[in-house]
Chain A
Amino acid sequence: MAYSNKVIDHYENPRNVGSLPKDDVNVGTGLVGAPECGDVMKLQVKVNPATGVIDDAKFKTFGCGSAIASSSLATEWLKGKTVDEAMAIKNTDIVNELSLPPVKIHCSVLAEDAIKAAIADYKKKQGVERSAEKAAQPTA
């Protein structure tokens, strides 16, 4: 399998590898894929509550070079985007940027799924947190 230079670069110098505190209310975590499929991605975003902008993004990926590159690229793109802008990232954008061959398109699909899952988790936490705040306010 011949890899594009961009895939090799992300594989050799992955951006934003690591983990954010998953219990932080401003952190959304997405864990997608399955070990038996040969691909698991964990992608996390940390949103600035004041601006709604993603301050930080981290990933860890078990998968082939294209899967690692797709998630690494995703974290690069997520930083500085609002939550809504992040939701607009499409797998085809990743395919084009990394010149992924047809057999590796599923890697980009997984990265898009990971972004959506992380943001869904963040939104869920925010919803829960807000209702918790309301409940805590004195009624009188």
Chain B
Amino acid sequence: MAIKLPIYMDYHATTPVDPRVVEAMLPYFTQHFGNAASRNHPFGWEAEEAVEKGRKQIADLIGANAKEIVFTSGATESDNLAIKGVAEMYREKGNHIITCVTEHKAIIDTCKRLEKEGYRVTYLPVQKDGRISLDALKAAVTDKTILITIMAANNEIGVIQPIAEIGAIAKDKGILFHTDAVQIVGKVPFNVNDLKVDMASLSAHKMYGPKGVGALYVRRRNPRVLLAPIIDGGGHERGMRSGTLNVTGIVGFGKAAELCKQELATDAERLRRLRDRLNDKLHENLDEIYINGSMEHRLPHSLNISFAYVEGESLLMGINDVAVSSGSACTSASLEPSYVLKALGAGDDLAHSSIRFGLGRWTTEEEVDYVADKLTSVVTRLRDMSPLYELAKEGVDLSTMQWQTEGH
């Protein structure tokens, strides 16, 4: 069978909606269009029933109680609600938050805003494998610490943090623990009780559901987490998030969660095999390529590789029938590469040379082989015209060279 181009291999960015999810959503656009908050007629009751079903399906996927799911517009809002909500609610108790340098911007920028408002934030570094040090976390805790927020799996490198261990530390110290679980939920088993997570941000569109709907898991027992809302209004979602519920979105999110729960084990195994095949082929065909972050603690569908001596954007240009992302951002005078890769200590040149591959439910072996072959030929061609590759092959140590960086 001929391969259909372009190939989508950017499942960390977003996923297509599963047709079974679309089918579940359709009646709620036209027939069952009620407002879930309308208590006086069947239209409202139907909508409410659908919302509650979705809530249960999502809760079941993460081992939570349905009442612990607060619907939002997406994970960025969930992250904002968790951090700002805790910061305001527990202001009397303390003003210190611990997070990590490789977090998503929705976490980092929310923390930066709170710093302007007088909160103290510790940004833990990561080790070379992309994970935080638990000793560094313990050392960062003070009697003013009210929240630890560490992502479950990183969106750029797919590295999974030691969530259970962080949960245990937080529990032991009596500090709330929030995790941005967007990339992990639906991909590998994630249970809020086993991991001792107090809050978790979820997003439908990263797990074959629709865009524009997400959730925040908020623990109700041991401890009962209280959040100050960031959006005021009709007091929906137990007062934590006002605004008419996105019923169709929630129906789709619920169905997507149900499918992930059913298919997680087989999907993960299949994708791990394909991901390893891609990785093996690239390593067979090319020298001087480096995996960014831990291979052991990594999402099964995720791979991030730096192709030394080749710049990421030119690489993407050469594989323009493959949709992937690059850690290079050659679009401004500053040319800042990915802060996540820099945090691993990879060196800016390797950060500029990186490609993120995200495989998903519809990725095929033929696609993986096509991508591996295409990358091999493009990297080889670009290295033939790379002055860095030439210098390296002459035995020059690039790290000790004097570069003219003025004005660039």
Contact = CB atoms under 8 A, between A and B. Distances in A.
B333 A68 contact: no
Given A14-B385, A60-B387, A68 B314 contact: yes
B408 A33 contact: yes
Interface stretch (A39-47, A78-86, A129-137): A39-47
B404 A32 contact: yes
Nearest to A18: B385
A138 interface: no
Contacts of B328: 38, 64
Contacts of A68: 314, 385
Interface in B344-397: 347-349, 352, 384-390
B403 A33 contact: yes
Interface string B321-333: 0000000101111
Contact of B385 (A8, A17, A31): A17
B68 interface: no
Contacts of B318: 11
Interface residues of A, number: 35
B138 to A, nearest CB: 34
Contacts of B405: 33-34, 36-37
A19 B390 contact: yes
Contacts of A39: 311, 330, 335, 408
B352 A38 contact: yes
A35 B314 contact: no
B80 to A, nearest CB: 29
Contact of B337 (A34, A38, A109): A38
A98 interface: no
Chain B interface SS verdict (over half): loop
Contacts of B349: 35-36
B313 interface: yes
Contact of B404 (A1, A17, A113): A113
Contact of A40 (B313, B331, B387): B387
Given A38-B352, A60-B385, A106 B309 contact: no
A84 to B, nearest CB: 23
A65 B314 contact: yes
A62 B311 contact: yes
Contacts of A113: 404
A41 B388 CA distance: 9
Contacts of A34: 403-405, 408
B314 A63 contact: yes
A59 B390 CA distance: 12
A63 B311 contact: yes
B351 to A, nearest CB: 8
A35 B317 contact: no
A26 to B, nearest CB: 20
Interface of A: 1, 3, 8, 11, 14, 17, 19, 31-42, 59-65, 67-68, 103-104, 106, 109-110, 113, 117
29 contacts: A1-B313, A17-B385, A19-B390, A34-B408, A35-B348, A35-B352, A35-B403, A36-B349, A38-B311, A38-B313, A38-B335, A38-B337, A39-B408, A41-B387, A60-B387, A60-B390, A62-B311, A63-B314, A64-B313, A64-B314, A64-B317, A64-B330, A65-B313, A67-B311, A68-B314, A68-B385, A103-B331, A110-B408, A113-B404
Interface of B: 309-314, 317-318, 328, 330-333, 335, 337, 347-349, 352, 384-390, 398, 403-405, 407-408
Given A1-B331, A32-B404, 20 more contacts: A1-B313, A11-B318, A14-B385, A35-B352, A36-B347, A36-B349, A37-B348, A37-B408, A38-B337, A39-B311, A41-B387, A60-B385, A60-B387, A62-B389, A63-B314, A64-B314, A67-B330, A68-B385, A104-B331, A106-B335
